[in-house]
């Protein structure tokens, strides 16, 4: 409503002022409420935009986490395969050294040739050594003895021409002979 419309209705100046004052107060209240609501709407829109940005960031982070999890799984698989390979290599080296040691102890003349005759599938590596190796070497010594050195016990050496001096006396000739050397 406008002031002129109220005056046309026959209201006094005082009444018009009161009505305009009341109308102005209610309009001011509505303006304040509208401004507060607009401010709340701005805050809500800002919050929504912030939440959208954080959501996108989390969504990307989730993808990164999935990538990291995938990379971690791949690295774990590589570690496990390398660990298995290392264990197999250690077992192979240990088996080879056990075989070489046993062949050396048994007196094999050519360890490569004797090794070729061993049945590797029957050998089992344990903490105590190779099971089945001694039996195979013993069998090879019996069947192919020429591949191993013969274990002869050393014969005692007896000196020729140097008799045991403790129990024998020198003959008179030997005594005379040795007495002649003392005078020189």
Considering only residues 113 and 165, tell me which one the structure prediction assigns the higher pLDDT.
113
pLDDT tens, residue by residue, 68-103: 888 888 888 888 888 899 988 988 888 888 888 888
Which range has the top average pLDDT, 11-25, 112-126, 142-156? 112-126
Q: Residue range 95-120: average pLDDT?
A: 88
* pTM > 0.85: no
Instruction: Write down the mean pLDDT value for the chain.
Output: 82
SS3 annotation, the chain? CCHHHHHHCCCCHHHHHHHHHHHHHHHHHHHHHHHHHHHHHHHHHHHHHHHHHHHHHHHHHHHHHHHHHHHHHHHHHHHHHHHHHHHHHHHHHHHHHHHHHHHHHHCECCHHHHHHHCCHHHCEEECCEEECHHHHHHHHHHHCHHHECCCCCCCCCCCCCCCCCCCCCCCHHHHHHHHHHHCC
pLDDT at residue 104, rounded to an integer: 87
Q: Residue range 142-151: average pLDDT?
A: 84
pLDDT at residue 139, rounded to an integer: 92
């Amino acid at each position: 409503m406008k002031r002129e419309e109220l005056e046309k209705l026959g209201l006094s100046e005082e009444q018009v002022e009161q009505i305009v004052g009341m109308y102005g107060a209610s309009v001011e209240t509505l303006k304040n409420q509208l401004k507060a609501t607009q401010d709340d709407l701005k805050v809500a829109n800002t919050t929504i935009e912030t939440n959208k940005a954080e959501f996108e960031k989390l969504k990307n982070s989730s993808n990164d986490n999935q990538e990291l999890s995938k990379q971690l799984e791949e690295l774990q698989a590589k570690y496990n395969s390398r660990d298995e390979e290392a264990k197999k290599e250690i077992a192979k080296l240990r088996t080879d050294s056990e075989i070489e040691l046993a062949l050396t102890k048994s007196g094999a003349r050519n360890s490569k040739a004797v090794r070729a005759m061993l049945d590797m599938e029957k050998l089992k590596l344990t903490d105590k050594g190779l099971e089945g190796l001694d039996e195979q070497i013993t069998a090879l010594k019996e069947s192919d003895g020429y591949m191993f050195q013969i274990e002869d016990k050393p014969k005692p050496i007896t000196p020729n021409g140097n008799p045991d001096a403790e129990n024998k006396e020198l003959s008179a000739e030997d005594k005379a002979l040795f007495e002649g050397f003392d005078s020189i």
